[in-house]
Amino acid sequence: MPPTHYDVIIIGAGMSGLAAAIRLAYFEKRVLVLERHYAGGGLNSYYALGGYQFDVGLHAMTNYVPPGTRGAPLTKICRQLRLTLEDFALVPQYQSEIRFPGITLRFNNDFEFFTQEVIEHFPAQKNNFLRLVRCIQEYDELDLEAKPMSGRRIVSSFLTDPLLIDMLFCPLMIYGNAAEHDMEFGQFVVMFKSIFCEGLARPREGVRRIINVLRRKVREVGGTVRMRCGVKALHVEDGRVRSVELDNGETLTADTILSSAGYVETLRLCDDGEPEPLAPLAGRLSFVEIISILDTPMKSLGHNSTIVFYNTEKDFHYEVPKDLVDPRSGVICCSDNFLYTKPLPKSMIRMTCLANFDGWSTLPEADYVAAKAEWLPRIHREVLQFIPDFRDHIVFTDFFTPRTIKYWTGHLNGAVYGMPNKRKTGRTHLENLFICGNDQGFLGIVGAMLSGISMANLHVLQK
């Protein structure tokens, strides 16, 4: 009996894979999505622990715009997937902050407000900043053939104050940069537009709302998703993937394979050997995240900000820490502090910092547990420079590390944003194997969906 054949097999039921499946199924392609784990979403997922529901990956969804906004990425996604903004039930942020020693820049979903904040705190940089904004607005970040350029070099050609430069890079790097120290300018533009020019929002139900909308849409349009069904190998012949072998031994075939598993991770599934040394290409930047359930909202303690991007030193360092964690910078997110019409059932605070995968992954289990216990108060000490003391109100805490991220996503080194050198065209050395998601180059929830749609259009529908 011949193996079951599909027009397209998609590896990974994350945001990019699900979006690609919807787009292709609309055009009557026979599509199968394969997911190794029992929950979809990839880097953006959810789980239950200790009787509480947790989100993974979603502090806030970027690229928020009001319904009807023309030309915005979120509007394009809704049009391509035949969804509405109401389907996602997004609630805008209240206000967020970039906090460095002695200075705070506030921003909300009104870019003019942020512009005035920059001008007020850096008056000598007014004209320079406005020229940078013009450059950003005119730059085509969707050009898949654009040559990589240093973000720090280009931004520094406009701005002359190192503090302002670091304050701009801090949230953009933490929220979507796979490279240490610098940021590719196209990615800087993507993140600047998505966070500052557009804005932040969150579904009241968290990331599960977005995943459920996409999963339901895949079913409605005739696509298939198989959970707990991982790919063991891609069998290659004459420059093409000829068959897909599953963990359970089953074999499938497809005209086209789209993989959101990561570039290096995907090519290591292929049985034709490495087309280039793969290990040096893998991303290295990972994080720890501490999520605490509180018995009172942070607002009641005097903290109204949605997200705080903080840095405790004069200079901002974005690199793999030498220690297990670098608590000098990070993200503090209060899920309560969005513009909900009624309070969430449980109050929650999340703290995220850069972490060292090698350090965490090599610890014996007893030392691993002890390291979490050691680092929790150390991270608290840093974040309490910027927010009220909430520790007496903690009722439950979960603490996950790069080791956790590697286990649940399969990403080498627990690399949250994938490899530094993106494959923007999605092409690999094989004629019918393409990459979508993180390693294609569009990051975050909206970016991932846009990546899946773009790669489906480019490599399947436009052929």
* Average pLDDT score, the chain: 95
- Judge whether residue 59 has pLDDT over 90: no
In a domain, 213, yes or no: yes
pLDDT at 243: 98
In a domain, 388, yes or no: yes
At 293, is the pLDDT very low, low, confident or very high (cuts 50, 70, 90)?
very high
Instruction: Based on the fold, state whether residues 153 and 237 are members of the same structural domain.
Output: no
Instruction: Give the angle 364-369-373 at the CA atoms, nearest 5°.
Output: 140
Instruction: Based on the fold, state whether residues 103 and 178 are members of the same structural domain.
Output: yes
- Judge whether residue 142 has pLDDT over 90: no
Instruction: Based on the fold, state whether residues 50 and 102 are members of the same structural domain.
Output: no
Rounded Cα distance between 455 and 435, Å, is: 8
pLDDT at 103: 98
Instruction: Based on the fold, state whether residues 264 and 194 are members of the same structural domain.
Output: no
pLDDT at 328: 97
Instruction: Based on the fold, state whether residues 309 and 377 are members of the same structural domain.
Output: yes
**Tally of structural domains, the chain:** 3
Instruction: Based on the fold, state whether residues 293 and 396 are members of the same structural domain.
Output: yes
Instruction: Based on the fold, state whether residues 273 and 291 are members of the same structural domain.
Output: no
268 secondary structure, DSSP code:
T
pLDDT at 352: 97
At 1, is the pLDDT very low, low, confident or very high (cuts 50, 70, 90)?
confident
Instruction: Based on the fold, state whether residues 273 and 350 are members of the same structural domain.
Output: no
Nearest CA-CA partner of 409 in 212, 262, 227 = 262
Output the six-digit token pair for 30: 């026979």
- Judge whether residue 297 has pLDDT over 70: yes
In a domain, 87, yes or no: no
Q: What is the rounded average pLDDT of the residues 261-266?
A: 95
Final residue belonging to a domain, choices 198, 226, 245? 198
- Judge whether residue 75 has pLDDT over 90: yes
pLDDT at 167: 99
Domain that holds residue 20: 4-54+206-281+420-461
- Judge whether residue 460 has pLDDT over 70: yes
pLDDT at 43: 65
Instruction: Based on the fold, state whether residues 110 and 192 are members of the same structural domain.
Output: yes
The domain spanning residue 220 has which CATH number? Answer: 3.50.50.60
**Do the beta carbons of residue 32 and residue 226 sit within 8 Å?**
yes
At 275, is the pLDDT very low, low, confident or very high (cuts 50, 70, 90)?
confident
Sign of torsion over alpha carbons 291, 295, 301, 307: positive
In a domain, 271, yes or no: yes
pLDDT at 411: 87
pLDDT at 188: 97
Tens digits of residue pLDDT in 162-177: 999 999 999 999 999 9
- Scanning 50-150, the segments in alpha helix (DSSP H) are 73-81, 85-88, 111-121, 126-138
Final residue belonging to a domain, choices 139, 168, 198? 198
Instruction: Based on the fold, state whether residues 249 and 289 are members of the same structural domain.
Output: no
Instruction: Based on the fold, state whether residues 277 and 424 are members of the same structural domain.
Output: yes
Tens digits of residue pLDDT in 214-257: 999 999 999 999 999 999 999 999 999 999 999 999 999 999 99
In a domain, 85, yes or no: no
At 41, is the pLDDT very low, low, confident or very high (cuts 50, 70, 90)?
low
In a domain, 68, yes or no: no
pLDDT at 122: 99
What amino acid occupies position 222? G
Instruction: Based on the fold, state whether residues 309 and 276 are members of the same structural domain.
Output: no
In a domain, 232, yes or no: yes
Residue found under tokens 């923007």: 424
At 55, is the pLDDT very low, low, confident or very high (cuts 50, 70, 90)?
confident
At 182, is the pLDDT very low, low, confident or very high (cuts 50, 70, 90)?
very high
Tens digits of residue pLDDT in 369-414: 999 999 999 999 999 999 999 999 999 999 999 999 998 888 899 9
- Judge whether residue 85 has pLDDT over 80: yes
In a domain, 69, yes or no: no
Rounded Cα distance between 194 and 71, Å, is: 13
Final residue belonging to a domain, choices 165, 198, 231? 198
Rounded Cα distance between 272 and 264, Å, is: 14
